[in-house]
Structure 1
Amino acid sequence: MAATTRGIIKSLLPSAKTRAAIGRRLSAVTGAMATATVAEMEARHTWFVRLDAKHRSWITLVAQAGIEGFVHWFSEPEPAGPSTMDVFGSAPRELARKISLYQTVELVRTTIDVVEQQIDEVMPRADRPILHAAILHYSRELAFSAAEIYARAAELRGAWDARLEALVVDAVLRGETDEAVLSRASTLGWGSATTAVVVVGPAPEHEPAQAIESIRHAATKDGLDMLGAVQGDRLAIILGGAELAEPDRAAAATARFVDRFGPGPVVVGPPVDHLMDAPASTRAALSGFRAAAAWPEAPRPVNAQDLLPERALSGDGHARRALAHDIYLPLAEAGGGLLDTLITFLDHGNSVEAAARALFVHANTVRYRLRRIHEVTGYGPTDPRDAYTLRMALTLGRLLKP
């Protein structure tokens, strides 16, 4: 098999002397080729015309550098693989952010089309087959170089976005949210001006970045904004969307990507009105995450509100006050014997008949009062888990009442 140089069969190339002669003839018309290329870009691509003069001049430099690079490569005494990275090095990095990869491919295609047309018009007939074969190989390398540049830019942008997202999440969770943090969150795609919820769970053991992107995809499909970051052994997710204010909506959304977390409890904080208020949801979610080990049978995910007893026992003052003020006090203020009925019912082994005898009322009266307790507090005394929460609320209410 004939020797090759990165796809070129050397035996098919003319001699170095012949290539040098063709190269000199080609070099004499590179200026005209560059001018014709820019004119063709203006005729073909409306988006090119809409660019400002600075960006059009950069693209002109790239086209000219590409044509000159082809001439230089073709004229080398010893043919080697064309080095096309220098072609794009003639333009600043800003150009890669101004035009897309698809637009860059269009420019490369237009440039090659014009060069091939110019070869047929201005070069001697004997030179044309050789130059057409060479430009075909050179254009392929040029396209690969463009793809490599954009791939590197995407990697750098992805890495920068991940670092920025981690900083934003950390600031939000620590309660240091200001206008600058909100602005950075907006650049990361956060558009919610209303309800936010914090979800905390164990970080996945492998590929946490992929887990975060998978969660982002699931949240986007659910119509929610999402920010996420790994903090030590925890994965913290912030969800945003007006519908999260609905009861259990956040837990239902989290259930769709809960398997992206590592093994262990996943706790959903309470909804708050704005991203600025996210520390309150964070505090409850982190407290629940620390205390969840005391309730291994808890659902996954579990609302931080459902972990109030465990959080209170683990030292969470907010949980203790919530049990006392949100459950005990409403019962005490509701009257109608609800508080006494609850105490008696729990003290008599959750037996309706035993409580009725102790209270000297009919069993149906006890049943009615138990339903009222559920309406007032949201917890049903006949449910074992709810009864545990109510018992804790009674104890803390007695301790914390003024």
Structure 2
Amino acid sequence: MDLPYPGSEFRPRRPLPRPYALERPRRLDTARGARMTGRDIPEEYLTGYADILAETTATGRRLTRDELDSRRALGERAAEAGFGLRALVGAHLAAARAHWPAGAGDSTLAAVEQTVDAFAEGYERAQLLAVRQEEAVRREFIDDLLHGRSDLGLLAERAERFGLRLSHAHAVAVAQGATGYDEGDAVPRDVERALFTRFGDRSILVTTKDGRLVCIAPGDQEDVLTFFAKQAHAATDGGRVAVGRSQPGPGGVVHSYEEALNALGLADRLGFDAPVLYTADLLVYPVLTRDRQAMADLVANTLGPLRSARGGPEPLLDTLVAYFDSGCVAAEAARRLSLSVRALTYRLERIHKLTGSNPADPVHRYTLQTAVIGARLLDWPDKDL
């Protein structure tokens, strides 16, 4: 029996249920501030500014530490209130023009420069703090979402902030490269940018977890995950991508995520070379390993006699792997092993003699092939069963 080994092509799978539209993850709201002008800025954010201009003009001094700290504090408050920096700078310039002291010179211009610089510093500090707090909230949400550790009701409420409605179905794709990635790295940013450029407002969440790239998308929009697989495979220099099945409900994301992780683990143990793995193609493997003891018994009873072969069981086990992976075509299996067809045939005969099962016999083939898969899953013969 030919088992469903995954293909190497990037291909969409069967349609998934229920289309729906979701909102994009919320960003820091700067739209209102961006529309404002200097005339819209309340006077409270210019408190003491005219007095500073008058004092510095009269004395020629620079701003004191307390004056600079007061400007920074006003900048922080303005940022927290949502005002745009351009409008705030415009308000300062307009106020300087309105309260320009008599006899003003270079010292007055220096005071304006110091004031605006300190105000902008406080503004940027508040913005940076807000971004870091937002990143921390996002990271905590993602960790809870992918580990299923939080109360599902609370998790669903938090998810809406990031554009996910967990009452609907979602699917998760996971990409693993040769190195690990953090959320602020260039590779995740490039992949996310490509996705949003292509699909726009589709409730896509791209993040990282344990050094891997993760994409969460509505379950009916498999074209998003297919495109993510292409972009991630290229961005990670040939990394492997696994796509979980669409799963419904608040626990669907973590279920699909775990499926994708398990598929990556299977690929490592079984030596798959496909760039993209679909867990729906790999459902036979969890079935085979559900009863581990039964599988261990099958491997020991079927393949155990290979231990008595000269050179150990590994060459003959590799022969069976190549033979089954090539569709039981001797010439192709010999090519993969860099053997002559005659040498391959000799090995198959040796396997038949030791195990009593003939790889070329359809009756015996299923048992041998299942045992070979079990040996690869259980890492036999390197590990004792």
State the TM-score, normalized to the length of structure 2: 0.54
Structure 2 counterpart of 1:87: 71
Matched, 1:110 2:91: yes
Structure 1 counterpart of 2:260: 285
Deviation sequence 1:93-129 (CA, Å, 0-9, x none): 554132233xx4323323422432343xxx54xx14x
User: What is the alpha-carbon distance in structure 2 between the residues aligned to residue 316 and residue 177 of structure 1?
Assistant: 29
User: What is the alpha-carbon distance in structure 1 between the residues aligned to residue 143 and residue 36 of structure 2?
Assistant: 44
Between the two proteins, the alignment pairs up a number of residues equal to 264
Matched, 1:99 2:82: yes
Matches within 5 A, 1:158-307: 158-175=131-148, 176=150, 178-190=152-164, 194-202=168-176, 204-205=179-180, 208-210=183-185, 211-221=187-197, 222-223=199-200, 224-232=202-210, 234-235=211-212, 237-241=214-218, 243-244=220-221, 246=222, 250-261=225-236, 264-307=239-282
Q: Please, which runs of 5 or more residues in structure 1 have no aligned partner?
A: 1-43, 50-55, 321-345, 352-386, 397-402
Q: 1:136 to 1:47 in 2, by over 3 A?
A: closer
Deviation sequence 1:33-55 (CA, Å, 0-9, x none): xxxxxxxxxxx968976xxxxxx
Contact 1:266/1:289 (8 A) holds in 2: yes
Structure 1 counterpart of 2:116: 143
Contact 2:147/2:254 (8 A) holds in 1: yes
* Structure 1 counterpart SS, 2:195: helix
* Structure 2 counterpart SS, 1:256: helix
Deviation at 1:269, TM superposition (A): 0.8
* Structure 2 counterpart SS, 1:299: coil
Q: 1:293 to 1:107 in 2, by over 3 A?
A: closer
Deviation at 1:249, TM superposition (A): 5.4
Deviation sequence 1:249-298 (CA, Å, 0-9, x none): 52333322334448743211111234542122122112112111134443
Contact 1:65/1:90 (8 A) holds in 2: no
Deviation sequence 1:306-345 (CA, Å, 0-9, x none): 33455556x467xx9xxxxxxxxxxxxxxxxxxxxxxxxx
User: What is the alpha-carbon distance in structure 1 between the residues aligned to residue 205 and residue 51 of structure 2?
Assistant: 47
User: What is the alpha-carbon distance in structure 1 between the residues aligned to residue 196 and residue 37 of structure 2?
Assistant: 33
Deviation at 1:237, TM superposition (A): 1.8
Letter in 2 for 1:97: E
User: What is the alpha-carbon distance in structure 1 between the residues aligned to residue 256 and residue 233 of structure 2?
Assistant: 18
Q: Please, which runs of 5 or more residues in structure 2 have no aligned partner?
A: 1-34, 295-323, 330-364, 375-385
Q: 1:98 to 1:258 in 2, by over 3 A?
A: farther
Contact 2:216/2:253 (8 A) holds in 1: no
2:44 to 58, 61, 65: 61
Letter in 2 for 1:113: A
Deviation sequence 1:62-81 (CA, Å, 0-9, x none): 21233333344445575479
User: What is the alpha-carbon distance in structure 2 between the residues aligned to residue 252 and residue 79 of structure 1?
Assistant: 57
User: What is the alpha-carbon distance in structure 2 between the residues aligned to residue 110 and residue 227 of structure 1?
Assistant: 38
Contact 1:292/1:310 (8 A) holds in 2: no
Structure 2 counterpart of 1:336: none
Contact 2:242/2:278 (8 A) holds in 1: yes
User: What is the alpha-carbon distance in structure 2 between the residues aligned to residue 262 and residue 183 of structure 1?
Assistant: 37
User: What is the alpha-carbon distance in structure 1 between the residues aligned to residue 89 and residue 112 of structure 2?
Assistant: 8
Contact 2:215/2:225 (8 A) holds in 1: no
Indicate the structure with greater helix content. Answer: 1
Deviation at 1:192, TM superposition (A): 7.6
Letter in 2 for 1:137: A
Contact 2:219/2:247 (8 A) holds in 1: no
Deviation at 1:163, TM superposition (A): 2.2
Q: 1:289 to 1:60 in 2, by over 3 A?
A: same
* Structure 1 counterpart SS, 2:240: coil
* Structure 2 counterpart SS, 1:199: strand
Q: 1:316 to 1:85 in 2, by over 3 A?
A: farther
* Structure 1 counterpart SS, 2:144: helix
* Structure 2 counterpart SS, 1:251: helix
Contact 2:180/2:212 (8 A) holds in 1: no
* Structure 1 counterpart SS, 2:205: strand
Q: 1:118 to 1:81 in 2, by over 3 A?
A: closer
Contact 1:228/1:237 (8 A) holds in 2: yes
Q: Relative contact order (alpha carbons < 8 A, sep ≥ 6): 1 or 2 greater?
A: 2
Q: 1:45 to 1:113 in 2, by over 3 A?
A: same
RMSD: 4.2
State the TM-score, normalized to the length of structure 1: 0.53
Question: Identity, % of aligned pairs?
Answer: 15
